[in-house]
Amino acid sequence: MKVKYLKQFLSFPDIFVMSLIFLICFGFMFSHLSSLGTWVSFVLGMAGYIISEYMTHRFLFHMKPPKNAFFLKLLKRIHYDHHSDPNNLHLLFLPLWYSLPNIIVVGGIVYFITASLIITNAFITGVILFLLYYEWVHYRAHRPFQPLSPWGRWMKKIHLWHHFKNENFWYGVTNPSMDIIMGTFKDQKEVKLSKTTKNLEKRCDQDFHL
């Protein structure tokens, strides 16, 4: 991997800001690492992001195009336009105006359940860490270099199937676990080539019931 790609990733504004937020949250979490509850909450935060990664990608980012022009514009920025221009760096990352409100809402829910700032912070730290990992894996899939590990190269191949073979399968970016559970992980040789991988707005109604 060329260092220039790592620099490009870390210097992108949305990633840079989210990385700073992670460091602040982790700094607060660091003094509570001796607590089992902190670690459990941290791991649950990462696990929660794995589930949300799949669910939002499949059911929100690939939802039927809304008729409302404003919501369609938001969806185009969040994901539709990324399929139209997969290698456009400015469409590659989740915008802060999407990520931060979601993190705040999730944090509020966790705090309501636990009434603990320590547990809530640990959970959010886990969420943000996996969000950054997701962004890196996604970035890596669309840049012209190969991951070092066989796992990384396999996940890159799977994500490119989603973009260039059929957008109705392989929603997991960091791992295929939820695809396997939800039945959207297929042998790419058995999946038909979709004509709408680069134009999600033109899919037929039947595409939403595969």
- Report the Cα 192 to chain-centroid distance in Å: 25
Instruction: Note whether residue 186 is domain-resident.
Output: no
Encode pLDDT of 113-157 as tens digits. 999 999 999 999 999 999 999 999 999 999 999 998 999 999 999
Instruction: Note whether residue 192 is domain-resident.
Output: no
Structural domain for 75, as ranges? 3-150
In this predicted structure, the answer to whether residue 1 has a pLDDT above a threshold of 60 is: no
Confidence (pLDDT) at 3:
86
Q: What is the pTM of this model?
A: 0.93
Encode pLDDT of 32-61 as tens digits. 999 999 999 999 999 999 999 999 999 999
Cβ atoms of residues 185 and 170 within 8 Å: yes
Instruction: Note whether residue 35 is domain-resident.
Output: yes
Count of the separate structural domains present in the chain: 1
Instruction: Note whether residue 71 is domain-resident.
Output: yes
Encode pLDDT of 63-96 as tens digits. 999 999 999 999 999 999 999 999 999 999 999 9
Instruction: Note whether residue 156 is domain-resident.
Output: no
CA pair distance 60, 58, nearest whole angstrom: 6
Confidence (pLDDT) at 207:
55
- Tell which phi-psi region holds residue 59, choosing left (phi > 0), alpha (psi between -120 and 50) or beta: alpha
Instruction: Note whether residue 166 is domain-resident.
Output: no
Cβ-Cβ contacts under 8 Å for 84 (sequence gap 6 or more): 198, 199, 200
